[in-house]
Amino acid sequence: MMLGGVGFQAGLDKARREQLEAQRETVVRAPQAPGASSAGVVEQLKDLKVLQDDGVLSPEEFQRAKRKVLGG
C-alpha cells in the first residue's frame, strides 16, 4: 500500500512549499526597523542567506532584502 505513503509525502511537500513561500514573502516585504542592533542585523542576514541557499529567495530577492536590512 505505497499509495498512502506517496499521498502523505505529497501533502508534506505542499505544506513545506507553502511554509517557505510565507517565509519568503515575510522577508521580502518586511521593512528594517530604525536603530536595529548589529547582532540583530547579522542574524537577519544569516536568515536571508539560509533562505537563499534553500532556494526560497532568488539572488535578486536576496539582494533586495539585504539592502532593506542594511538600511539602504
Residue ranges in the chain assigned as alpha helix (H):
2-29, 38-53, 59-69
| Residue ranges making up the domain that contains 41 | 2-69
Q: Which three cell numbers stand for residue 61?
A: 530577492
- Model pLDDT for residues 1-23, shown as the tens digit of each residue: 455 677 777 777 788 888 877 77
- Model pLDDT for residues 51-71, shown as the tens digit of each residue: 889 888 889 988 988 888 888
Residue keyed to cell 515575510? 26
Look at the chain and report how many structural domains it folds into: 1
Closest among 40, 2, 13, 45 to 27, alpha carbons compared = 45
Closest among 55, 48, 53 to 69, alpha carbons compared = 48
